[in-house]
């Protein structure tokens, strides 16, 4: 890699946890458009999972991931052992401040610290790069942008739109957990976003009414962690009587059975128009 860099090659980096699907591969293609050398990491990061989360059962298939990345013409796959990133005695953590006070933060204590810490390590390994992230993990993108800015990291963050199945379901490695009937229920996340998007396009600007439109679609989920309209930069939820901000994020996290799913949309910026 250093020889290629010496020859002026720009590096694009796509961090993943593997079990790669077309959403990941779309990020890889984006990376290829942004740089001449593409690095992808596959690492199920233990520090971003809570004690009652799915670290042990998270889908892993490194051979299949390698084959997919090779077919995409990826230059380098990093699949470090946990001890390489977390050697005996390591203790440094990167804390992201206010951004983990909202949305997934309070529900997944330590999650974004784990994400920021592993990304800081991976960025150190990869060096100066364009790092490509999916908008599906919207809060993660905000956290990474903040960290890169605050720690003066030589990383340019590039954000890719959410890649969906034909029926609107956001692609996720966790979709593999869903039984067919659960998969139907899972569609309520994208349907809720689509209804809010449509109402907003039709001119609705009342936060309480947009919220009610969202909530009306989510009754079939086994539980809803949050379904909110929030400021798209600070992630602070909007009060029902507040004016709709310049950029408003609509974000949902909920459970279908044991599977936790997330989805989001920025009003006026993303579209679910045309999705069923
Ligand atoms: P993960 O393997 O879930 O950690 O995801 C690795 C990267 O792929 C993250 O930047 C995710 O936001 C991105 N990603 C995952 N699913 C999608 C999707 N459906 N559309 C776009 N990006 C995605």
Pick from 4-18, 48-62, 145-159, 212-226: least confident: 4-18
What pLDDT does 271 receive? Answer: 82
Task: Provide CB contacts within 8 A for 156, sequence distance 6+.
Answer: 129, 130, 131
Pairing relationship of beta strands 248-256 and 223-231 according to DSSP bridges: antiparallel
Question: 121-158: per-residue pLDDT in tens?
Answer: 999 999 999 999 999 999 999 999 999 999 999 999 99
Query: To test ligand 1's pocket by mutation, which of 17, 19, 24 has the most ligand atoms within 8 angstroms of CB?
Result: 24
User: Which tokens hold the place of 38?
Assistant: 């593409």
What pLDDT does 236 receive? Answer: 96
DSSP assigned state of 93: -
CA distance 110 to 92: 13
Asked if the model's pLDDT at residue 118 lies above 80, the reply is yes
The torsion angles phi and psi of 216, rounded to 5 degrees, stand at -60, -20
How would residue 6 be classed by pLDDT, with cut points 50, 70 and 90?
confident
- Is the pTM value of this prediction over 0.95? yes
Question: Ligand 1 centre and the CA of 17: distance in Å?
Answer: 9
What pLDDT does 276 receive? Answer: 59
Query: What angle do helix axes 111-126 and 138-150 make, rounded to 10 degrees?
Result: 60
194-201 long-range contacts, CB within 8 A, separation 24+: 194/168, 194/272, 194/273, 194/275, 196/229, 196/250, 196/265, 196/267, 197/250, 197/265, 197/267, 197/270, 197/271, 197/272, 197/273, 198/273, 200/267, 200/268, 201/273
User: Which tokens hold the place of 252?
Assistant: 């949902």
DSSP assigned state of 240: T
Atom from ligand 1 closest to the CA of residue 18 = 2
The torsion angles phi and psi of 50, rounded to 5 degrees, stand at -80, 165
CA distance 207 to 103: 17
Atom from ligand 1 closest to the CA of residue 164 = 19
What pLDDT does 1 receive? Answer: 75
Active site annotation includes 66 = no
Q: E-assigned strands of 74-197?
A: 76-78, 129-134, 155-160
Question: 161-205: per-residue pLDDT in tens?
Answer: 999 999 999 999 999 999 999 999 999 999 999 999 999 999 999
Question: Ligand 1 centre and the CA of 176: distance in Å?
Answer: 14
In this structure, which residue's CA is closest to atom 19 in ligand 1?
171
Q: Which DSSP helix (H) or strand (E) runs through 28? A: helix 22-34
Asked if the model's pLDDT at residue 54 lies above 70, the reply is yes
What pLDDT does 245 receive? Answer: 83
User: What is the percent of the chain with per-residue pLDDT over 70, rounded to a whole number?
Assistant: 99
Per the listing, tokens 């799913």 go with 261
What pLDDT does 274 receive? Answer: 66
Q: Which DSSP helix (H) or strand (E) runs through 243? A: none
| Catalytic-labelled residue, pool 21, 24, 111, 160 | 24
CA distance 203 to 61: 46
Rounded mean pLDDT, 212-226: 98
Question: 246-272: per-residue pLDDT in tens?
Answer: 899 999 999 999 999 999 999 989 888
CA distance 243 to 252: 20
Atom from ligand 1 closest to the CA of residue 172 = 16
Question: 64-106: per-residue pLDDT in tens?
Answer: 999 999 999 999 999 999 999 999 999 999 998 999 999 999 9
């Amino acid at each position: 890699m250093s020889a290629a860099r010496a020859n002026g090659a720009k590096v694009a980096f796509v961090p993943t946890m593997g079990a790669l699907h077309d959403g990941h591969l779309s990020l890889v293609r984006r990376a290829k458009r942004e740089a001449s050398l593409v690095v992808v990491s596959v690492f199920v990061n233990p520090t971003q999972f809570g004690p009652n989360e799915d670290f042990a059962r998270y889908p892993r298939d490194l051979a299949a991931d390698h084959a997919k990345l090779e077919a995409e013409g990826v230059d380098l796959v990093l699949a470090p052992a946990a001890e390489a990133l977390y050697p005996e005695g390591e203790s440094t953590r990167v804390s992201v401040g206010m951004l983990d006070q909202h949305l997934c933060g309070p529900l997944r204590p330590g999650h974004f610290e784990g994400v920021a810490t592993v990304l800081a390590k991976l960025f150190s390994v990869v060096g100066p790069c364009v790092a490509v992230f999916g908008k599906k993990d919207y809060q993660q993108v905000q956290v990474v942008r903040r960290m890169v800015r605050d720690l003066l990291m030589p990383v340019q963050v590039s954000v890719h739109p959410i890649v969906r199945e034909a029926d609107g379901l956001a692609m996720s490695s966790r979709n593999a957990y869903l039984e067919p009937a659960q998969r139907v229920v899972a569609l309520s996340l994208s349907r809720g976003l689509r209804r809010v998007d449509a109402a907003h396009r039709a001119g609705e600007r009342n936060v309480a009414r947009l919220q009610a439109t969202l909530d009306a679609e989510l009754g079939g989920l086994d539980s809803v962690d949050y379904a909110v309209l929030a400021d798209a930069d600070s992630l602070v939820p909007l009060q029902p009587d507040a004016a709709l901000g310049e950029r408003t994020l609509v974000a949902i996290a909920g459970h279908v059975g044991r599977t936790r799913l997330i989805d989001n949309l920025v009003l006026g910026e993303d579209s679910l128009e045309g999705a069923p």
